C-alpha cells in the first residue's frame, strides 16, 4: 500500500510573494516582457545587410510567421499595421506559457486567470475600437443586424450576435487559454506526484517498477505541453487577428 497525497489545488497554482505583491506569476510576466524585448533588441542591433543568423534569424522568422501565417491569412495586406501588436501578443503569451515546462519555474503564467483575462479584455477593446474607427456607428448595425438576413429573423439573430460578438468572444478567449494551460499544468503535477509515490512505495516493492509508466507519461506530456504552449499562443493571436480584421472590414 502506498499513500499518494495530492496537494491542494491552491498549493499547485498560487505562490507566496517573492516581494510584497510580486509573486512567481508576476516574475514570469516581467521575465517574458524582458526576454521578448531582449530578443528583438539584439536582433535589431545586428548587421542587416548580411544573411540573418542566430537571434536575428529567430526574430525575423517570428515576424514572418506572424505576417504570412496570421496577418495575411486573416486581415490581408491592410492588416500589416497590426503586426507589432499581434507579434507582441504571440511572443508574450508564448513566453508566459513555456515556463510550464521549464524546471524550477514549472508554472505557466497563463494558467492563472489574471493574464488571459487582461489580454482578452485588451483584444475586446481593440477590436470594438477598430470597428468603430472603420465603420463608425455602422459597426453596431453591421454586427447586430447582419445584411442579407430576413427582417423577421433579427428578433433571433440580433441577441445571438450581440452575445457572441460582444460577450462570448472575450470570455471564450480567456477560458480557452486559461483552461488549456491549467489542465496541462495539473496533468503534469498529477503524473509527477504519481511517479514519486510509486518510486517511493513502501511495503510493496512490486509497485516501484510501475513508477516508470507515469514517468513516461510525464515525459510525453511535457513534450506535449511544449506544443500546447505554442499552439495556444498561436490560437489566441489568430483569433485576435480574425476579430480585429472582421471589425475593420464590414464585409466580414
Partner 1 sequence: MLTAVVIGSGGTVRVELLAGGESGEEKLVKPSECLFEPESEELKNAEKIPQSECGAGPSPILPEAKEFIWGASSFIVFALLMRFVLFPRLKKGMEARYNSIREGHENADAARSSARSEVAQYEAAVTAAKAEAAKVVDAARTTLESERQAQISAANARINAKREAAQRDAEAAKAAVRGQIESAVSDVVSSAVEAATGKRPDSAAVSRAVADVMSAGVR
Binding site for partner 1 (CB under 8 A): 1-11, 13-14, 16-17, 21-23, 25-26, 29-30, 32-33, 36-37, 40-41, 43-44, 46, 48-49, 52, 56, 59-60, 63, 83-85, 87-89, 91-92, 96, 109, 112-115, 117-119, 122, 197-198, 201, 204, 206-207, 210
Sign of the dihedral defined by the CA atoms of residues 230, 234, 237, 243, in that order = negative
| Spatial distance between the Cα atoms of 52 and 68, rounded to a whole number of angstroms | 18
Q: Which is nearer to partner 1, 187 or 197 (CB)?
A: 197
| Spatial distance between the Cα atoms of 134 and 150, rounded to a whole number of angstroms | 26
Q: Which is nearer to partner 1, 39 or 140 (CB)?
A: 39
Q: Which is nearer to partner 1, 14 or 141 (CB)?
A: 14
User: Considering the complex, what minimum distance in angstroms separates the CB of residue 116 from partner 1?
Assistant: 9
Contacts of 187 (CB under 8 A, 6+ apart): 221
Q: Which is nearer to partner 1, 53 or 151 (CB)?
A: 53
Q: Please name which of 247, 22, 243, 221 lies closest in space to residue 123, comparing C-alpha atoms.
A: 243
User: Considering the complex, what minimum distance in angstroms separates the CB of residue 173 from partner 1?
Assistant: 14
- Where helices occur in 98-168 by DSSP H, the ranges are 114-135, 138-144, 154-162
User: Considering the complex, what minimum distance in angstroms separates the CB of residue 232 from partner 1?
Assistant: 15
Q: Which is nearer to partner 1, 89 or 143 (CB)?
A: 89
Matching residue, cell 521578448:
36
User: Considering the complex, what minimum distance in angstroms separates the CB of residue 25 from partner 1?
Assistant: 5
If you ran DSSP here, which 8-state letter would residue 137 be given?
T
Amino acid at each position: 500500500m502506498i499513500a499518494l497525497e495530492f496537494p491542494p489545488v491552491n498549493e499547485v497554482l498560487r505562490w507566496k510573494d517573492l516581494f510584497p505583491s510580486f509573486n512567481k506569476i508576476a516574475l514570469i510576466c516581467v521575465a517574458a516582457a524582458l526576454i521578448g524585448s531582449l530578443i528583438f533588441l539584439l536582433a535589431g542591433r545586428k548587421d542587416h545587410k548580411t544573411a540573418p543568423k542566430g537571434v536575428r534569424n529567430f526574430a525575423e522568422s517570428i515576424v514572418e510567421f506572424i505576417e504570412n501565417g496570421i496577418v495575411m491569412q486573416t486581415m490581408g495586406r491592410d492588416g500589416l499595421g497590426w503586426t507589432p501588436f499581434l507579434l507582441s501578443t504571440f511572443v508574450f503569451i508564448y513566453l508566459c506559457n513555456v515556463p510550464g515546462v521549464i524546471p524550477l519555474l514549472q508554472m505557466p503564467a497563463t494558467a492563472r486567470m489574471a493574464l488571459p483575462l487582461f489580454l482578452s479584455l485588451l483584444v475586446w477593446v481593440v477590436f470594438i475600437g477598430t470597428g468603430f474607427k472603420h465603420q463608425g456607428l455602422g459597426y453596431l448595425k453591421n454586427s447586430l443586424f447582419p445584411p442579407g438576413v430576413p427582417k423577421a429573423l433579427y428578433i433571433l439573430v440580433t441577441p445571438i450576435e450581440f452575445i457572441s460578438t460582444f460577450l462570448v468572444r472575450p470570455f471564450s478567449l480567456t477560458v480557452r487559454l486559461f483552461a488549456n494551460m491549467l489542465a496541462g499544468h495539473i496533468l503534469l503535477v498529477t503524473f509527477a506526484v504519481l511517479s514519486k509515490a510509486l518510486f517511493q512505495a513502501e511495503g510493496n516493492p512490486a509497485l516501484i517498477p510501475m513508477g516508470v509508466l507515469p514517468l513516461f507519461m510525464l515525459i510525453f506530456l511535457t513534450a506535449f505541453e511544449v506544443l500546447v504552449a505554442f499552439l495556444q499562443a498561436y490560437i489566441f493571436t489568430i483569433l485576435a487577428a480574425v476579430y480585429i480584421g472582421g471589425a475593420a472590414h464590414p464585409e466580414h
